[in-house]
């Protein structure tokens, strides 16, 4: 009988787009994988990978205790039924409620602390409760993976878990076989792209304001946005705001895409002026793998992707003025200079962020916690 590994997240979309190769690698090792997440259009795609899919309701951005209690009870019921040998958790509420349920069922957990978001930024009641829940639940996991050293240090400083449980991953990694070095067309038009959930915390307003200024001076430039709109988050950009920016001619909104590699291939530079506490942004890793210069903030998680002046530029968080300066540097480069900077991005991703490194870390961790 195959040993079951449970993999959980707050969306099926995340598991399919960010963890598909980890799932396939676990299956190749002989494990049966059960994916647990809210049902969406990607749930069927997970089943087509050969996974069992079990739906669970998770109010990802909500603060209603009753909803969270129901989520915890659902995890408890699932683990009692399927009896996995280990659980891999991604996204905050899964790290909390799946871990607690798994601990009660004696299932070892491996958690991914992918960016601490607003957890330590503000002192709202939800943030305080979340910190308390983290402090209570995370020591019950067997392994805690962090995507950058800033988050690991902050976690330990706040006594969320003992240091011996923690380890570092190079983000989610980039699939170097899918995201290949691809040069943008030399057609005289400079194209910038920002891929993220459309949240103001991701620097969307700074990007739009910079685009407004730069298009007046360089009308041939194009500024694109790609990602989920109207998400369940206090920082969400509304559809009305996006429509106003598009009507103004400041940005082009591309919606969402399962083929982000095709969109990245067309652009000259990837941008993410985030002041959110990121893990390591997947969009920057994938753009770097495709040989694109990167402009992002000197901020937790983001700065890991750029050697300033080598494969892109770091700008000050929340500063439209500094973002304009850095984007203008890209605009004023020759096409060949941008390509040369992009090749440095590819080299950095190959050297530091190959997804195979991440997958092997998970395979080793699973073997370790099952052995224990």
Residue 117 pLDDT more than 60? no
pLDDT of residue 138 exceeding 70, the answer is yes
What pLDDT shows up at residue 45?
A: 97
pLDDT (tens digit per residue) in 160-207: 889 999 999 988 899 999 999 999 999 999 999 999 999 999 999 999
**At residue 336, does pLDDT exceed 90?**
yes
Stretch among 18-27, 83-92, 209-218, 275-284 having the lowest mean pLDDT = 275-284
* Range 45-52 contact pairs with CB under 8 angstroms and sequence separation of 24 or more: 45/12, 45/16, 46/12, 46/15, 46/16, 49/16, 49/20, 49/23, 49/24, 51/23, 52/82
- The predicted model gives 87-108 an average pLDDT of 97
At 150, is the pLDDT very low, low, confident or very high (cuts 50, 70, 90)?
confident
Pairing of strands 52-55, 166-168: unpaired
Token readout for 168 is: 């570092």
Angstrom distance (rounded) from CA 322 to CA 316: 6
pLDDT value at position 171?
86
Strand 109-113 and strand 86-90: the pairing is parallel
Q: How far, in Å, CA of 305 to CA of 116, rounded?
A: 18
| Residue 64 or residue 67, greater confidence | 67
pLDDT at 283 over 90: yes
pLDDT tens-digit readout, 197-241 = 999 999 999 999 999 999 999 999 999 999 999 887 888 999 999
Percent of the chain whose pLDDT exceeds 70: 97
Contact 274, 316 (CB under 8 A): no
What secondary structure does DSSP assign to 6-34, as a single string?
A: EEE-S-HHHHHHHHHHHHHHHHHTT-EEE
C-alpha–C-alpha distance, residues 291 and 312, integer Å: 11
Report all structural domains of the chain as residue ranges with CATH numbers, in order of start. Answer: 4-173+355-371 (3.40.50.2000), 191-352 (3.40.50.2000)
pLDDT-based confidence at 57, cuts 50/70/90?
A: very high
Residues 6+ apart with CB under 8 A from 65: none
Supply the pTM of this predicted model. Answer: 0.89
Instruction: Quote the pLDDT of residue 125.
Output: 77
pLDDT at 163: 95
């Amino acid at each position: 009988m195959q040993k079951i590994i449970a993999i959980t997240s707050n969306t099926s979309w995340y598991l399919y787009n960010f963890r598909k190769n980890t799932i396939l690698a676990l299956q190749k090792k002989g494990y049966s994988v059960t994916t647990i997440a809210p049902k969406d259009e990607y749930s069927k795609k997970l089943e087509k990978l050969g996974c069992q899919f079990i739906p669970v309701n998770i109010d990802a951005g909500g603060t209603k205790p009753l909803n969270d209690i129901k989520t915890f009870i659902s995890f408890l019921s699932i683990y009692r039924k399927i009896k996995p040998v280990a659980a891999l958790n991604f996204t905050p509420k899964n790290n909390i409620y799946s871990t607690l349920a798994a601990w009660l069922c004696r299932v070892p957990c491996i958690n991914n602390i992918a960016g601490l978001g607003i957890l330590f930024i503000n002192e709202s009641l939800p943030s305080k409760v979340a910190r308390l829940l983290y402090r209570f639940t995370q020591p019950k996991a067997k392994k805690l993976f962090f995507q950058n050293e800033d988050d690991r240090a902050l976690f330990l400083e706040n006594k969320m878990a003992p240091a011996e449980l923690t380890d570092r991953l190079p983000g989610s990694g980039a699939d170097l076989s899918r995201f290949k070095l691809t040069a943008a067309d030399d057609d005289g038009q400079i194209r910038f792209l920002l891929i993220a959930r459309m949240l103001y915390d991701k620097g969307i307003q700074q990007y739009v304001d910079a685009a407004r200024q730069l298009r007046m001076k360089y009308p041939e430039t194009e500024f694109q946005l790609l990602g989920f709109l109207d998400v369940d988050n206090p920082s969400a950009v509304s559809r009305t705001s996006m429509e106003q920016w598009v009507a103004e001619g400041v940005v082009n909104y591309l919606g969402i895409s399962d083929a982000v590699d095709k969109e990245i291939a067309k652009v000259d530079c990837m941008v993410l002026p985030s002041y959110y506490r990121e893990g390591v942004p997947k969009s920057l890793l994938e753009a770097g793998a495709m040989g694109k210069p990167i402009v992002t903030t000197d901020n937790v998680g983001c700065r890991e992707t750029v050697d300033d002046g080598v494969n892109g530029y770091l700008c000050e968080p929340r500063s439209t003025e500094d973002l304009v300066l850095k984007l203008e540097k890209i605009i004023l480069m020759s096409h060949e200079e941008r390509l040369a900077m992009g090749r440095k991005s590819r080299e950095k991703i190959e050297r530091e962020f190959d997804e195979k490194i991440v997958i092997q870390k998970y395979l080793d961790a699973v073997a370790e916690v099952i052995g224990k």
